[in-house]
């Protein structure tokens, strides 16, 4: 019988002949307890012996790999007390010195007589050829042209010990069950499962290793996608959604009143959302749109759709500043709109929008809670205060969650729980590449606003690298203020301490007031200010009573003051791309020309980040750069489940595989929702997700 992964997951590594007590302990230190763990402990890389050089032939500047035996080891200390380990190795053709700085353990690792592969750049030191801190692989005396090198921990097993255990495991496992039908394998050009497991551990050529990796990476992605698609279907099955009235009057009147025409992207988004709202299943949709793409009017239309069919809406934002601003903006957008009310003389009453944050007074709150329960409050806007127990809705119909990345999955669920299966729209202004979205938000439908409203001039971004350029930036601030515009100065990011960050903003305000911006009206905004003060600072900036707002990153999210046309970001090298992009999105919100000045010197990765910011204002392009620079950990980090199974697949390298896996998952689950015709696949999904999740997914 062909081997199922669940079978391998049940067998402890101690069943292998090669594993005694001591090895079992070392393996467990590496997180390997079961045979499946061992087989999915994939090589980190390979040593291709066909690429091996002879020491005799090495020239200065070469990047080379040599296989040699340690002849002599010495350790010495420099004057500033750093250790240097010097190892002389010999490969039959010549001698080479390998030097290691501050790695005293190398002397133990590379005892005389040890055979190892050394990979590094050849340079000249005191007239002889050497490699400084080469990569070392203790491959042992294994034969074969391509030798796998396994990830190792300091106390763990050596790479060749692992290799021989893997070989035993593979041999005893025999043939693996194949989860995919042959036509799919052919179409995607994937090798079969059994061969893939063998080839990834013992490839005959590098091409072999790559092909094996591709197959197994695809399997990881497919399992994740199948679980996500099944989860989506399960939610749809479980929940009885509300069929909203989508051709009521309210939305139409709202759109007629807008002082601008919707963009095509907004129109498309409205249609997709309306179709969800009219449908029998609760909506579960992500609205991704770059800063300024106009997400607010789209979500308001969704909320009004609920209201016009006799329900209530809720809009949750991550910060007080943002909630208050949404409240002000939405209230203005909805002024003069009415809803039917048979109890009144005219048969209608004004639409009621309320705000709930931690600042809401107790009496106000009591009034609000009552209005929510009777249904008199049509739309509630607020922070996570919305999640408190006392908040009970009469008939909650649509929930909008702004800036998803600040809320956890549980909070999404908590808000959804305030109604009976309301429709949920999650909005994010942190674009992530579409393929990444498939991976992270695969249980949500996706709508992208990929168009900015017309008439925006892209923000001109300048990297001010020195005092002269900085002086020019301040000149621009002064000139814009003189022209009736406003500016932001964003203060350095101080890690982990809001208090220190607040202090640095206060100091910066004093410095500017005493110096270069002394004659302008300056305001201050930071997270440590009492909410009332924060609100006053924002109100007076919005009203134009303040020329320059000195702020911390609290303004990062959603602050909308179209008259602000300049932003100075200090110590920009300390910010990540996503954050810089969010900050910059605070200017360029009107038709006027806008500027963003990035102050900053060198820092790790600063050159790439800041030049990318200068080059483009496209959030999706920047998201790709971010992914390149930081890797997927930052995107996948927020996802708890399923990610442990992603050992090979990489968002960066495997975009195409992500898309294909998504496609296969959708079609497989579409035809066979409980995976009854795909028993091997079903077995793997159960093995990879936890029990509770599996019970949920497979409940029919
Ligand atoms: P974001 O997607 O960043 O939340 P907003 O919804 O805050 O964007 O919209 C940014 C600005 O653009 C707001 O001032 C809004 O009134 C305006 N806006 C939205 N849609 C359009 C449009 N179709 N045409 C012109 N201006 C628009
Ligand atoms: Mg917004």
Nearest CA to ligand 1 atom 22: 453
The C-alpha atoms of residue 402 and residue 558 are separated, in whole angstroms, by: 9
Rg of the chain over Cα atoms, rounded to whole angstroms, equals 31
CA of 297 to the centre of ligand 1 (A): 7
281 to 43, 240, 243, 277: CA distances (angstroms): 45, 6, 8, 8
pLDDT tens digits, 327-339: 988 998 999 899 9
Quick one: which ligand is closest to 323's CA? 2
Nearest CA to ligand 1 atom 24: 453
Q: Which residues of the chain have pLDDT under 50?
A: 637-643
Quick one: which ligand is closest to 402's CA? 2
Structure confidence at residue 643 (pLDDT): 44
CA of 292 to the centre of ligand 2 (A): 7
Nearest CA to ligand 1 atom 13: 294
The C-alpha atoms of residue 380 and residue 312 are separated, in whole angstroms, by: 8
CA of 166 to the centre of ligand 2 (A): 52
**Tokens 């929008």 correspond to what residue?**
353
CA of 577 to the centre of ligand 2 (A): 18
50 to 54, 63, 164, 315, 421: CA distances (angstroms): 11, 15, 22, 62, 61
Nearest CA to ligand 1 atom 16: 294
DSSP assignment string, 207-235? HHHHHHHHHHHHHHHHHHHHHHHHHHHHH
Ligand 1 pocket (Cβ < 6 Å) reads 260, 262-263, 266, 289, 291-297, 429, 453, 560, 562, 589
The pair phi, psi for residue 615, each rounded to 5°, is: -70, -40
CA of 231 to the centre of ligand 2 (A): 29
Angle (CA) 319 324 328, round 5°: 150
CA of 683 to the centre of ligand 1 (A): 48
CA of 274 to the centre of ligand 1 (A): 20
Q: Which two tokens stand for residue 524?
A: 């201050």
Nearest CA to ligand 1 atom 4: 295
How many other CB atoms are found less than 10 A from the CB of residue 12? 14
How many other CB atoms are found less than 10 A from the CB of residue 274? 18
The pair phi, psi for residue 85, each rounded to 5°, is: -105, 125
pLDDT tens digits, 487-511: 999 987 665 666 777 778 899 999 9
Contact 278, 243 (CB under 8 A): yes
Give the atom of ligand 1 at the shortest distance from the alpha carbon of 455: 25
Structure confidence at residue 327 (pLDDT): 93
Beta strand segments in 83-139, E: 83-90, 95-101, 115-125, 128-132, 135-137
CA of 489 to the centre of ligand 2 (A): 20
CA of 316 to the centre of ligand 2 (A): 12
Give the residue among 222, 178, 182, 184 at the shortest CA–CA distance from 197: 178
Nearest CA to ligand 1 atom 10: 292
Nearest CA to ligand 1 atom 18: 294
DSSP assignment string, 387-398? GSTT---SSEEE
Give the atom of ligand 1 at the shortest distance from the alpha carbon of 585: 3
Give the atom of ligand 1 at the shortest distance from the alpha carbon of 295: 2
Taking each helix axis from N to C terminus, what angle separates 320-334 and 295-308, rounded to the nearest 10 degrees?
Answer: 60
The C-alpha atoms of residue 687 and residue 694 are separated, in whole angstroms, by: 9
Quick one: which ligand is closest to 582's CA? 1
The C-alpha atoms of residue 205 and residue 573 are separated, in whole angstroms, by: 43
Mutate to test the pocket of ligand 1, among 254, 261, 292 (most ligand atoms within 8 A of CB): 292
Nearest CA to ligand 1 atom 12: 294
Q: Going from the N-terminus, what domains does the chain have, and what CATH number goes with each?
A: 50-143 (2.40.50.140), 249-449 (3.40.50.300), 460-616 (3.40.50.300)
């Amino acid at each position: 019988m062909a081997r199922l992964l669940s079978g391998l997951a049940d067998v402890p590594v101690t069943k292998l002949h090669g594993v005694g007590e001591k090895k079992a302990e070392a393996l467990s230190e590496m997180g390997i307890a079961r045979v499946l763990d061992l087989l999915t402990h994939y090589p980190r890389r390979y040593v291709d012996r066909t690429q091996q050089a002879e020491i005799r032939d090495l020239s200065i500047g070469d990047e080379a790999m040599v296989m040699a035996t340690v002849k002599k080891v010495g350790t010495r200390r420099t004057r500033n007390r750093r250790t240097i380990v010097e190892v002389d190795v010999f490969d039959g053709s010549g001698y080479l010195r390998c030097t290691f700085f501050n790695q005293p353990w190398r002397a133990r690792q590379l005892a005389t007589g040890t055979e190892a592969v050394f990979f590094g750049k050849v340079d000249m030191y005191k007239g002889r050829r050497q490699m400084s801190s080469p990569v070392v692989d203790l491959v042992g005396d294994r034969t074969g042209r391509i030798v796998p090198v396994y990830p190792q921990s300091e106390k763990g097993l050596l790479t060749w010990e692992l290799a021989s255990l893997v070989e035993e495991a593979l041999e005893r496992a025999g043939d693996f069950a194949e989860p995919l039908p042959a036509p799919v394998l052919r179409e995607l050009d994937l090798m079969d499962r059994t061969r893939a497991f063998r080839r990834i551990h013992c490839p005959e050529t590098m091409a072999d290793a790559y092909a094996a990796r591709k197959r197994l990476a695809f399997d990881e992605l497919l399992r994740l996608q199948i679980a996500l698609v099944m989860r989506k279907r399960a939610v749809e099955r479980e929940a009885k959604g509300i069929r909203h009235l989508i051709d009521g009057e309210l939305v139409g009147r709202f759109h007629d009143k807008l002082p601008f025409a919707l963009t095509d992207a907004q129109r498309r988004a409205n249609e997709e959302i309306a179709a969800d709202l009219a449908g029998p299943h609760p909506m579960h949709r992500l609205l991704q749109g770059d800063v300024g793409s106009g997400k607010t009017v789209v979500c308001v239309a969704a909320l009004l759709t609920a209201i016009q069919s006799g329900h209530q809406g809720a809009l949750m934002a991550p910060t007080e500043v943002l909630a208050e601003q949404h409240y002000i903006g939405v209230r203005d957008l909805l002024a003069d709109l009415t809803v039917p009310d048979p109890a009144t003389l005219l048969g209608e009453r004004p639409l009621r929008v309320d705000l709930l944050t931690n600042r809401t007074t107790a009496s106000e709150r009591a009034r609000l809670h009552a209005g929510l329960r009777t249904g008199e409050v049509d739309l509630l806007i607020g922070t996570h205060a919305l999640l408190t127990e006392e908040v009970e809705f009469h008939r909650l119909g649509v929930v909008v969650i702004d800036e998803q990345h600040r809320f956890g999955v549980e909070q999404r669920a908590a808000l959804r729980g305030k109604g009976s299966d309301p429709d949920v729209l999650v909005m994010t202004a942190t674009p992530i590449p579409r393929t990444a979205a498939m991976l992270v938000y695969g249980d949500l439908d996706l709508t992208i606003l990929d168009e900015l409203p017309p008439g925006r001039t892209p923000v001109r971004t300048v990297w001010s690298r020195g005092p002269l350029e900085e002086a020019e930036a301040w000149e621009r601030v002064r000139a814009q203020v003189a022209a009736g515009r406003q500016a932001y100065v964003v203060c350095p990011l101080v890690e982990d301490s809001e208090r220190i960050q607040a202090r640095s903003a206060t100091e910066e305000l004093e410095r500017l007031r005493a110096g270069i911006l002394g004659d302008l009206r300056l305001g201050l905004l930071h997270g440590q200010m009492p909410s009332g003060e924060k609100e006053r600072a924002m109100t007076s900036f919005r009203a134009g009573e303040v020329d320059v707002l000195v702020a911390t990153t609290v303004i990062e999210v959603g602050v909308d003051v179209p008259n602000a046309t300049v932003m100075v970001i200090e110590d920009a090298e300390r910010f990540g791309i996503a954050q810089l992009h969010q900050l910059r999105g605070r200017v360029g919100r009107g038709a006027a020309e806008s500027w963003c000045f990035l102050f900053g010197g060198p820092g790790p990765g600063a050159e790439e980040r800041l030049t990318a910011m200068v080059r483009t204002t496209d959030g999706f392009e920047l998201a790709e750069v971010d992914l390149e620079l930081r890797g997927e950990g930052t995107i996948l980090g927020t996802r708890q489940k399923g990610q442990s199974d992603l050992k090979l697949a990489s968002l960066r390298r495997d975009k195409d595989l992500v898309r294909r896996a998504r496609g296969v998952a959708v079609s497989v689950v579409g035809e066979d929702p409980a995976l009854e015709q795909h028993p091997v696949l079903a077995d793997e999904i159960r093995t990879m997700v936890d029990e509770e999740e599996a019970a949920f997914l497979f409940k029919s």
